Amino acid sequence: MKKLRLLLSTILAGCLLCMPVVASNGLDNCLEAELCKSESNSLVEINSHPSSFTEEDAKFIQEINNNPLLFEYFENEVDNFVYTSVSENAPCAVSDDTVQIASDSDVVARLQIFAWDGSTGGSSGSSNNGGINLGHAFIVITNVSDHNICAGNLYILPDTGITIGTWSGIDEHQGLWYALEGYYYHYKGDYSGSYSMAVMLTQSWLDKANKVIRDGDSWSITNNCSSFAVKVWNTVCSDKLSAGVPINTPAALKNSIASYGTNKYGIDAAIPVNYTTYYGEPPKRSKDYAF
């Protein structure tokens, strides 16, 4: 009998080890994001900031936008991302109605897009040393369900949110970052005057947005923070946005948001500060920028 029990236990253990591990909501490999634990930060000198755009990049973008010949060349180089047809997308939420829409039983998340043109100051724009400031653009995913959801490749708790954006000029990582905008919002009060829009997502639409996020771990002049943010947004929302041509910029994205009128966009919307910072794909805990 003991031998039989041992044999059954061995077989059962083997079956469990061979079973595929499937995360909830149909997404695998998501990591559980760690909540902020401290109000102070001793790892990074607060006066030392990374950049969405380096000063050299910002000057180059200005030169392109002011030069017809360069404009024509780079216009042909811009990535023409193919979006899902408008009829299949969700409409943008009216800015005052997001709470009401969130009560829909099929909705699990709110996606927001933020554009800050840098004109109101702040540290995390294009330059640390008084150069041209092109601002920053990013998205926020907020969990409005009663269970954990995956935001990009991190699980977040109900009633919490996380910022997601792409960055240049950071030694630790150039590309996809989680909660870094929340870091600057918390410590420096950045993004004053930012424009934002929101759309409520069912699980299927969140899955589509997450696919674009997880494929977005890169940064270049022609694929910058505003390119990333607008690509995620346009994948799931029927109210399409543009970040400009030939080079995408946060300022052009801000103007595109503003074109929808004040019933659909907000100014200075709250930015969540719930989680510590991660970077890359798969996400890694940041050692340099941690709460």
d(CA 51, CA 181): 11
Best CA proximity match to 125, nearest among 186, 57, 174, 172: 57
pLDDT per position as a tens digit, 196-248: 999 999 999 999 999 999 999 999 988 999 999 999 999 999 899 999 888 89
pLDDT band at 279 (very low <50, low <70, confident <90, very high): very high
d(CA 236, CA 85): 10
Q: List the structure tokens of 115.
A: 């554009």
**How big, in percent rounded to 5, are the helix, strand and coil portions of the chain?**
30, 20, 50
- Distance, CA of 131 to chain centre: 25
Inform me whether the pLDDT recorded for 262 exceeds 90: no
Is residue 30 exposed (0-12), middle (13-18) or buried (19+ Cβ within 10 Å)?
buried
What pLDDT shows up at residue 91? 62
What pLDDT shows up at residue 184? 87
Inform me whether the pLDDT recorded for 281 exceeds 70: yes
List, in order, residues 6 or more apart from 63 with CB less than 8 Å away: 70
Is the peptide bond prior to 68 cis by the omega test (within 30 degrees of 0)?
Answer: no
Minimum mean pLDDT range among 70-84, 87-101, 198-212, 274-288: 70-84
Q: Where in 37-174 does DSSP place strands (E)?
A: 107-116, 136-143, 149-151, 154-156, 161-167
User: In three state form, how does the secondary structure of 51-79 look?
Assistant: ECCCHHHHHHHHHHHCCHHHHHHHHHHCC
d(CA 135, CA 53): 8
Which residues partner with 162 through β-bridges? 141
- Please indicate whether residue 280 or residue 62 has the higher confidence score (pLDDT): 280
Minimum mean pLDDT range among 17-21, 159-163, 168-172: 17-21
- Please indicate whether residue 283 or residue 90 has the higher confidence score (pLDDT): 283
Q: Where in the chain does DSSP place strands (E)?
A: 31-32, 107-116, 136-143, 149-151, 154-156, 161-167, 175-178, 195-202, 266-267, 278-279, 284-285
d(CA 75, CA 247): 8
pLDDT, averaged across the chain: 76
What pLDDT shows up at residue 216? 96
Q: List the structure tokens of 248.
A: 């995408």
Centre a 10 Å sphere on the Cβ of residue 240 and count the other Cβ atoms it contains. 13
Q: Where in the chain are the domains?
A: 50-285
What pLDDT shows up at residue 18? 30
pTM for the full predicted model: 0.78
List, in order, residues 6 or more apart from 20 with CB less than 8 Å away: none
Token look-up 């109605």 returns 97
What pLDDT shows up at residue 78? 39
What pLDDT shows up at residue 58? 78
pLDDT band at 254 (very low <50, low <70, confident <90, very high): very high
pLDDT per position as a tens digit, 165-197: 999 888 899 999 999 999 888 887 788 899 999
